[in-house]
Structure 1
Amino acid sequence: MTARRASAKPDGDATHLPAWQQAYASLSQLTKTAAISDKIILNANKVMQQFETEYMLPDQTAGGLKPTRNRLRSDLSDIKDSSQKEIDICKTALDQIGTIIKLREAPDNVGAPSVAEKRPKRQREASASSLAAQSASSAKAPTNGAGAGAASATNGGLTVVLPRKSAAFQQIQARIQKQLPLKPGRKVAFRVPGDDGKTLASPPIVDGSSYEEAGWILATIRSVEKDGKYMVQDVEGENGQEPPIYPASLSSIIPLPIASVLSNDPSHLNAYPEYYKGTIVLALYPETTSFYRAEVVASPKEMVVAGQRTAPVATRAVPSYRLRFDEDEDRVRLISAEEVIEFPGY
């Protein structure tokens, strides 16, 4: 694997990034859970109205009310469970924010590097100014400057602001649902967990550099667990060791498209959107096992129209994209469509 430039020594604020990522992950989960709760409550209100209507019927009996009563009882139980889940997430988020406060009070406390920092990375040529700008954007804490539509949580005067929800994230989740359960051996883009075993969630996007810090790598599904989660294995070990295995939820996995299956299979390349010129994507950098942010220069169809070759000779059956990776000296590279996915933008 081609080595990537070593990260500059982080300043005091940069060492707080894992704590920010964990808090952001909890608050993101809270937003999703609250949305689910709203749907459950809305449905319960409809069932309640139906129950009242049926109750007022002159010839109504206890047996006739039983189906609606059972539905209402189930919905109320779901509301209780969802509310408790929100409370638990809030407690976790407050504890994590409290950790951030302690870290800010002790700026000299530099933690150990994360799994993503330890992983070999591709070599890039970058100016001192661009490196400084990237370090500043990665270390910068979210503020109240987010636009309308953002959600926030406050504790002790410290505010964490969530970005707007991404349509790309919703599309990814809808596509994954059609492919479940993911079979062992399936290749996926996997977001590397932090040193505490929890998946790193990316902080609010400024220039896309934060996704690289979160560490999306190439992995394979190893097994499906009883709780619906997965065990995934890195395709490459460190220093000749056995590739590590991680527990993973669907929020940290993006299945890669497959060109060799039947065309009506939900995992087929045709089931994935084609990304046209100017689209920001996540792609596997050549000769590495890491995914990076890139801009589409030409899609397979656009290349055909222009009379260009869409795939290397050895793999001509699989179409390819022409991509320009960030901080890659403006080079345009040919990348297989099986290694290109939406840029998540959570």
Structure 2
Amino acid sequence: MDRKSRTSRLASLEESNEEASLWKEICTSLVKLETIQREAGNVITNINKAAQTSGFLDNGIPSGLYQRLKDCYRDGITLSSSEIKTINDIIEKVSVLIALRDASEYNGIDGKRKKRKHDSMEEKSTVNGSPSTTCTSTTPSATHTPSNKKVAASQPNQKDTRNDEWILARVLQFHADKNKYRVEDVDRDEFGHTQRYMLSPRQVIPIPDNMDNQPEYPSGRHVLALYPGTTCFYKAIVMTPPSKNKDINASGTYKVQFEDDNNEIKYASPNHVLETPNASK
């Protein structure tokens, strides 16, 4: 089987544009995070001052002080939510950057996994036989995958969603009137462009942000997993789940074996190990 992975482009200045652009986004997000944390620190200071002041009052807390405390707590909650969102965004971008940079090693070591071909630099989709500029989702449901959510997306030219290759993508928008998602490939072509697609819900699998409520796949389970050093998901079999992985340097990860990969054991992050698409969808 000829697997097509997307390798990073570190061989020349032109090829490094993708990583440089992503690193710039990470730095911008880190500055934003620092600002949020500084503002949160100021809010905590104000809350402590107000609390100390109220401790010296014999007749309870005046309405003005009460309102100030209430506003401070509200600001603190808002900043905390913003901090969590920014941290998750940074973690996701760093994960993608690591995958893109590590891909250069697999470009020379694993020759059979060639770069995935980009058929065009424009958005692709066919709705009733005509081109469209919309995208995919996870399952036809009233609860749709939100914008900026990372997903595994089946390529538009793959009519069978059970095909073995899915790409790492980002949801741009959900079109409720068509029940379709517009998604963007996280990988860039040699010109620095990304591809955008219109996909049906069954062509999209959301990537979980929090693994606390996610089930652990047992040994022997067939899954889709992100191949190390690439931005592509392939069919694999769980060899060892995270709870039973005793490897010191890879604790908390899955041990998986990809199809047609010389029986080699690879490691995959839990949030990059997904349930295989249902054939009935």
Sort the TM-score into its range (normalised by shorter chain).
0.3 to 0.5
The TM-score normalised by the length of structure 1 is 0.39
TM-score, with normalisation over the residues of structure 2?
0.47
| Greater fraction of residues in strand | 2
